[in-house]
Amino acid sequence: MGSTAHHGGEGVGRRDLIKRSAALGLVAAPGMGLLSACASSGGGGQGKAKAGKKTARNPLAVNETAKMEFVLFDGGFGKEYAQDAVKIYQKDFPKATVKFSATQKIQSTLQPRFNQGNPPDLIDNSGAEQMDMGVLVGKNQLADLTPLLDAPSYDDPNKKVRDTLRPGIVEMGQFDGKPVWILYYAYTVYGVWYSQKALDSLDAEYPQTWDQMLAVCEKAKKKGMAGWTYAGKYPYYLPFSLYPMIGKVGGREVLDAIDNLEPNAWKHPAVKACFEAYYELYKKGYILRGTPGLDHIQSQTAWAKGKALFIPNGSWVENESANVIPADFNLAVSAPTGIDSSDKLPFGTIWASGGEPFIVPAKAANGEGGMEQLRIMLSEASSKNFTAKVKSLTAYNGGTTGITLTPGLKSGVAALDKAGSNVVNPRIQDWYVQLQKEKIGVAGLGEMMAGRLTPAEAIKKIQGFADEAAKDTSIKHYKHQ
């Protein structure tokens, strides 16, 4: 499956992005709130399985004879990784029957079952027909996954499951506070993607300060290569490198204030400095000519052909552009370049976050079984199996030793290692999809990078959009706790 169909020129929606990413075996950041689920908690309901015996081998007290039903989103990650994990469940609980199925139509297949009170025990709620998480949480239709997170990990009884996960995974599953409703299984690295071969040919290192960035772009320009390109038609790709740069320059609290729709959040000096830095790329002629008219596939193709050095993107780009990236390209990703040594966070600060949301319904007959299946999937063996099969990391923090990693994946792992705890996770694209895409992306950043707004005008406009969203009572508002 190639590029996505774009509806009425509104660009690749988060839903489309997820659908496309899933169809191509990529990781897309989860979007929420585009599809409203007609969730009501009526219906007859189903009997709960009696609890089993809690043992060291069965810490969640799964009923060893109860049926367990698992419905997977049938996307580009395929079914095999899940089927392999199901086999382990069946080996651990030989008296249990497991009903496993995969579908692209998550909402139309499962929403009626939620309404009737007989949902499956574990669901990969992803793809174009993803059920609206906010609605499911708001109607108390999901089980709190804290028992799973506090259970001993599958590999090491002395380590809780939560202690084996990558940064941000637990927080991403929370809405307004403590319970964890969602476990994101895949893991995306966002940043600035480039060809190490092209960078070497300029006799340059990846730039850590903005002066160095401008110098590298000047070198590229002299060789007939643009410094940057991006998805001009869908400029909400720009934040994949711009947001973590803002976090690096001004600290996490600046991103939190933006997520929280605080008044004047966009007027922070760090935002101004980063917008002015990006605008300089336009003013100095370092952006590939015609970029504002390119979609994601066209910009990635131009970049893969060596017409531009850098592109902001997510780790799905390796798979999505596999047919145009040359064999000797040596794909690499880096955390964003900062301004200078006065930045709040060190070079290496990067945006990475979860994709592929798994949920256990509150009314599942065998919710413990659903959680146990997830516990198995979060083992080192299952995680390795996923990464080897689909070129993507999982939420399990590790699971890459002994696997031959593709260049982009290898570079992503190295970037995460370098970042350490300096991983940021802006939530605005999950919480306020339309604000992020149409307003901040297209009407703000897109216009600025095309030279039609100055940084000061873009900031004023974007702050106005954020203020409107904050006052809009028709949308659910979220806050960092």
Write the secondary structure of 85-150 as one string of H (helix), E (strand) and C (coil).
HHHHHHHHCCCCCEEEEEECCHHHHHHHHHHHCCCCCEEECCCCCCCCHHHHHHCCCECCCHHHHH
pLDDT at 440 over 70: yes
Res. 367 pLDDT band, cuts 50 70 90: very high
Res. 201 pLDDT band, cuts 50 70 90: very high
Give the length of the chain: 481
- Find out whether 184 and 395 touch, Cβ atoms under 8 Å: yes
Instruction: Report residue 165: phi and psi, to 5°.
Output: -95, 155
Measured at the CA of 400, the angle between CA 28 and CA 165, to 5 degrees, comes to: 65
What is the structure's pLDDT at 129? 82
Between strands 183-195 and 350-359, the pairing is antiparallel
What is the structure's pLDDT at 332? 97
Task: With residue 377 as reference, give the H or E element that holds it.
Answer: helix 367-377
Mean pLDDT of the 13-20 span: 41
pLDDT at 225 over 60: yes
What is the structure's pLDDT at 273? 98
Task: With residue 210 as reference, give the H or E element that holds it.
Answer: helix 210-222
Task: List pLDDT tens digits, range 448-473.
Answer: 999 999 999 999 999 999 999 999 99
What is the structure's pLDDT at 38? 41
Average pLDDT, the chain: 89
- Find out whether 72 and 101 touch, Cβ atoms under 8 Å: yes
Separation CA 98–CA 115 (nearest Å) = 23
Question: Which are the contacts of 288, defined by CB distance < 8 A and separation ≥ 6?
Answer: 226, 228, 229, 299, 302, 307, 308
Lowest mean pLDDT among 24-38, 167-181, 233-247, 432-446: 24-38
What is the structure's pLDDT at 55? 93
> Residue 312's beta-bridge partner residues?
192
pLDDT at 40 over 60: no
pLDDT at 39 over 70: no
What is the structure's pLDDT at 242? 98
- Find out whether 165 and 378 touch, Cβ atoms under 8 Å: yes
What is the structure's pLDDT at 19? 41
Separation CA 146–CA 75 (nearest Å) = 27
Taking CB atoms within 8 Å and a gap of at least 24, the contacts of 448-452 are 448/275, 448/278, 448/279, 448/282, 449/230, 449/232, 449/235, 449/238, 449/278, 449/279, 449/281, 449/282, 449/287, 449/291, 449/292, 450/232, 450/282, 450/292, 451/282, 451/283
pLDDT at 126 over 50: yes
Nearest to 185 by CA among 25, 392, 417: 392
Nearest to 249 by CA among 208, 212, 283: 208
Predicted model pTM: 0.79
Instruction: Report residue 93: phi and psi, to 5°.
Output: -125, 75
CA-CA-CA-CA torsion for 255, 259, 261, 265, nearest 10 degrees? 10
Mean pLDDT of the 95-120 span: 94
- Find out whether 315 and 406 touch, Cβ atoms under 8 Å: no
Which of helix, strand or coil describes residue 231? coil
In the chain the domains, ranked by start, together with CATH numbers, are 14-188+354-399 (3.40.190.10), 190-351+428-471 (3.40.190.10)
What is the structure's pLDDT at 44? 53
pLDDT at 244 over 60: yes
Res. 168 pLDDT band, cuts 50 70 90: confident
- Find out whether 184 and 354 touch, Cβ atoms under 8 Å: yes
- Find out whether 100 and 376 touch, Cβ atoms under 8 Å: no
Task: List pLDDT tens digits, range 264-280.
Answer: 999 999 999 999 999 99
Distances in whole angstroms, Cα of residue 26 to Cα of each of 13, 75, 353: 16, 9, 13
What is the structure's pLDDT at 134? 76
pLDDT at 445 over 50: yes
What is the structure's pLDDT at 23? 40
Nearest to 449 by CA among 288, 208, 262: 288
Mean pLDDT of the 228-236 span: 95
Mean pLDDT of the 218-231 span: 97
- Find out whether 365 and 49 touch, Cβ atoms under 8 Å: yes
| CA of residue 334 relative to chain centroid, distance | 17
Separation CA 299–CA 193 (nearest Å) = 12
Separation CA 155–CA 383 (nearest Å) = 12
What is the structure's pLDDT at 45? 60
Question: Which are the contacts of 434, defined by CB distance < 8 A and separation ≥ 6?
Answer: none
Measured at the CA of 111, the angle between CA 105 and CA 114, to 5 degrees, comes to: 140
Burial of 402 (0-12, 13-18, 19+ CB in 10 A): exposed
What percent of the chain has a predicted confidence (pLDDT) above 70?
91
What is the structure's pLDDT at 21? 41
- Find out whether 210 and 218 touch, Cβ atoms under 8 Å: no
Separation CA 61–CA 437 (nearest Å) = 44
Burial of 283 (0-12, 13-18, 19+ CB in 10 A): exposed
Question: Which are the contacts of 265, defined by CB distance < 8 A and separation ≥ 6?
Answer: 254, 257, 258, 271, 463, 466
